[in-house]
A and B are shown apart, each in its own frame.
Chain A
Amino acid sequence: MLKGNRYLQIGLAITGVVTVLAVLGLFWTPYDPSAMNSAEMYMAPSLRHIFGTDNFGRDVFSRVMKGISTTYLISLCTVAMGAAVGVIVGALTGYFGGIVDDILMRVNDAVTAFPSILLALVFISLLGFGKYNVILALGVAFVPSYARVVRSEFARHREMNYVKSARLMGATDRRIMFVHILPNTRAVILPTLVIGFNNAVLAEASLSYLGIGVRSPDVSLGYMLSESQSYMATAPWYVLCTGATIVLLILGFSLLGEGLQQGRR
């Protein structure tokens, strides 16, 4: 699958680098990302501070590392939550059809009808700020997209002979759904997960940029973007490095998703 698949190769390389930075950022950064230093304000990128420093003299590279960690964590949890619920809802509706399908899919439609940012906004105004509430809000907003994909796959596989034979051997519905059908849908679900991760990165960035997502002392890429724009003229490296990191993150996962989709053809 990897051989000759350029998208997958480059995608893996980029996401690999970003992932290493994210994991590293959890434990170690070159400088303390929140330590201010009035002697080193607005320093341009140099060997000492490779991404330069900001208005408080904080090391931008350290902050970017921390920011990737937070963004990564939020996106991962969002995708995990959306996918877990989405798979269960999709499996139930696709497999059983009928009234279960009607009810759950109408709820799904209702959730889809709200723009995800608006939905997240409502959630956060109810639950308050903080990264865990961002995860919860985005997770709920992401459920329908997964449910829809999983549902159509389950509906397709339900009629296949291997499912019938499993049923004939007395396998329970739960076993058929999760042991027999689910592994067969991975080729469709995997790219969807990766694309979903991208959307989560963008959604988190948007929320934090609007000031309703992550709050100080937590740092996320979106939060940094909104912080850095005030100093665009004096410290352009801050906004550029942060923006470039987001682009890289999205690009890497887009290529990965594209590569996975090509791999299954």
Chain B
Amino acid sequence: MLEIKDLHVQFHTSDHEAVRGISLRVDDGEIMGLVGESGSGKSVTAMMIAGLLREDRVRTEGRILLDGRDMLAVDGDDLLSYQGKEIGVVFQEPMSALNPVMRIGPQVEESLRVHTKLSKEERRELALQAMRDVELDDVEEVYRKFPHELSGGMLQRVCIAAAIISRPRLLLADEPTTALDVTIQAQILELLKRLNRERDMSILFISHNLHVVRKLCTRVAVMQKGRIVEEGETEQVFHHPRDPYTQRLIAAIPTRRKIDE
């Protein structure tokens, strides 16, 4: 459903490319992992897919196809029509991804307000439903709260609810668990897995945490310095890494034996 073909991205303020010709494919209903260290270009790739980086900031080459439609070619109102409807995005820091002076409910509903003509009650009903879907408790109460009144884990659930409320076909998750502690992290991963299964929603999961990627993703691509150095089935890549960089990355995963030594 999502296909990236030979994408190059260069910021106007920089003298080298942040992304140097990557090709990537996300199939219907799969969870694709994109791993790499800081500065490898994985977040820039995500922002390009989401449509957050436009010509005023970057120079681009190549194509990003969503169901065969080139998204680098659309702009203005057309861009608004697929943002939030076809693609949902979850960020790393849930606290900063929410407007501090707006109540939770309206923020979850935001994409409905833009993309549909539903009445206030209908929107509210859908928002409460989405919040139940992400396993929040007391949704009626959470609906009325402000972001600072909730914990990090709850906020990330709220962000996921806001991202999936319009039933997008692709969820872009940019390090969604990095800012959370380990137990919450595991819960959010389970949640993403369940949403992927039940809603038949593809997920592009971006992370530097190989351990997490291995638990979640069916396929994985490894990025280094703006290039994809390896791509394949997750288990395949983990057991038989071909690229030396991938081999080093995997060797760096802490295991019990290494910690004991």
Contact = CB atoms under 8 A, between A and B. Distances in A.
A170 B81 CA distance: 7
Interface stretch (B34-42, B94-102, B221-229): B94-102
A98 B97 contact: no
How many residues of A sit at the interface, in one of the four size bands?
Answer: 10 to 19
A160 interface: yes
B102 A183 contact: yes
Query: Considering residues B81, B102, B159, which has the most beta carbons from chain A within 10 angstroms of its beta carbon?
Result: B102
Contact of A172 (B56, B99, B114): B114
A165 B101 contact: no
How many residues of B sit at the interface, in one of the four size bands?
Answer: 20 to 34
B34 to A, nearest CB: 18
Contacts of A171: 110, 114
Nearest to B110: A169
Interface of B: 50-52, 56, 80-81, 83-85, 87-89, 91, 93, 96-102, 110-111, 114-115, 159, 162
Interface string A151-182: 00000000011101111111110010000100
Interface of A: 98, 160-162, 164-172, 175, 180, 183-184, 186
Given A168-B52, A169-B83, A169-B84, A161 B114 contact: no
B99 A180 contact: yes
A180 B162 CA distance: 15
B96 A161 contact: yes
Given A160-B96, A170-B111, A171-B110, A165 B56 contact: no
Given A168-B52, A171-B114, A184-B99, 8 more contacts: A160-B96, A166-B99, A168-B50, A168-B83, A170-B80, A170-B115, A172-B114, A175-B114
Contacts of B87: 168
A184 B146 CA distance: 13
A165 B159 contact: yes
A159 to B, nearest CB: 11
A169 B114 contact: yes
Contacts of B114: 169-172, 175
Contact of A165 (B80, B89, B115): B89
26 contacts: A160-B96, A161-B91, A161-B93, A162-B96, A162-B97, A162-B100, A164-B97, A165-B91, A165-B98, A165-B159, A165-B162, A167-B83, A168-B52, A168-B84, A168-B88, A168-B89, A169-B84, A169-B114, A170-B81, A170-B111, A172-B80, A175-B114, A183-B101, A184-B99, A184-B100, A184-B101
